[in-house]
Structure 1
């Protein structure tokens, strides 16, 4: 019975989270049309709303740890569910993503994503996708902000291993920008493909920046080591079984 009640609460929470996009998008639209700050205001308002409603509707509190980067940096983040995106965007002053091109067609999300400077990428052939990613990021470099990329390329469930893709290494090498790794335990509470939201405290943690200059292979090994090790520790803190790597 307790599980059923929590599942129903989770369903109601998820429904209101998506419906909340509409009034927030409309309220901020006039400002967003004339100034990108309006688009970021909408993003922060919506992500703040989700964090607040999650805390009392399903008992899922959230916490941001580590120094929040404010300058021109890349963010290499562990991606376990939609909630880690929400937490990262709520914390960063000017977040922007490398995202799937198909999301441009999503109502509300697509337009606001372009307005805050997200970089749409066609994830077709691997080599062409990486080349296109670099070109589009370079062309978008005039827009200030923190560029978020998920090194594993997709959401990865808590406890599941998946290699880090070379794309983040290519961007690091080409853009000569510091990279801030981000660890999380969000997937313990908010699974990828499930309605149920588990009560607890979801955490994302901004880790020390990796400065430019490393060879690509060394950079990939470093970012994977720090993100996976710290994510494992955060998941263990949340009661998730310890993992062997």
Structure 2
């Protein structure tokens, strides 16, 4: 436990340190060019790949991504479960030219926000509620026109593994507005690098791209299909990891979730 805490602390020092450096590099380039460049794209790919390497080397967290054959050609929305910062790094390399939906507060951070904007990120102001939707839609249409794939976390924030699902309306509005397929993504990363956790736990974090949901459904049917795709598959990935054995402690909340997921399993 002590050794893992030390390794986790070293990871955070390196992770935060290089994130600041990368943000300054890409942000400065963005101020000069006002657009996405080969340099900014290559630096962003390095950032994601190096963070995954640090997680494996220091935290003992391996990365497995499957189901890439389910990503259709052309524009689409990638809607992923969100349990960890790992999700961003793991999904990024497989999205072509991604346009992440990012909360406004992050876009206002000097250098980081400039970098994010130059890398096609789409700003959403959660405090404005429904009033923020038209601006988000305008940015999403422009991103699709540039050849991007929209990446959104439908619950809006990181959730603990097996916590009750809380899907927001943003992904539904995007689906209805853009008329493109939606690729659900299930994952189990929160078991190994949880939200607000300073400790990394060794294991294999997995993300699985699922068959796309075709455009043209009603809002209610789409939301039902999305939730029914992501939640059972995420639970299955979590239970598979539990069955292999976890290095982390299992508290009462997580154990209750595991028991409920096992009871609901067909």
TM-score by length of 1: 0.91
Note the 1:54-93 alignment, pairs <5 A: 54-67=55-68, 69=71, 71-93=74-96
**Equivalent in 8, 12, 15 of residue 13 of structure 2:** 15
Between 172-181 and 65-74, the greater mean CA deviation after superposition: 65-74
Structure 2 counterpart SS, 1:6: helix
Partner residue of 1:201? 204
Give yes or no for the alignment of 1:130 onto 2:128: no
**1:154 and 2:157 aligned:** yes
Q: Which of 115, 119, 124 is equivalent to 1:116? A: 119
Report the more deviating stretch, 229-238 or 104-113. Answer: 104-113
Distance, in Å, in 2 between the alignment partners of 1:182 and 1:149 is 10
How many Å apart are 1:138 and its aligned residue? 2.2
Q: How does 1:1-245 map to 2 (within 5 A)?
A: 3-24=1-22, 33=33, 35-67=36-68, 69=71, 71-239=74-242, 241-242=258-259, 243=261
Task: Determine the C-alpha separation between the residues in 2 that align with 1:14 and 1:41.
Answer: 22
Deviation at 1:22, TM superposition (A): 4.3
What displacement does 1:105 show? 2.3
Unaligned runs of 5+ in 1: none
RMSD of aligned Cα (Å):
2.1
Paired with 2:181 and 2:195, the residues of 1 have a C-alpha distance of 29
User: 1: CA distance between counterparts of 2:195 and 2:104?
Assistant: 20
Give the structure with the higher percent helix: 2
Higher mean displacement: 22-31 or 205-214? 22-31
Q: How far apart are 1:11 and its partner, in Å?
A: 1.2
Are the structure 2 counterparts of residues 35 and 170 from structure 1 closer, same or farther at C-alpha, using a change threshold of 3 Å? closer
Shift of 1:222: 0.3
Greater CA drift, 34-43 or 212-221: 34-43
Structure 2: how far apart are the matches of 1:165 and 1:233? Answer: 23
The alpha carbon displacement at 1:135 in A equals 2.8
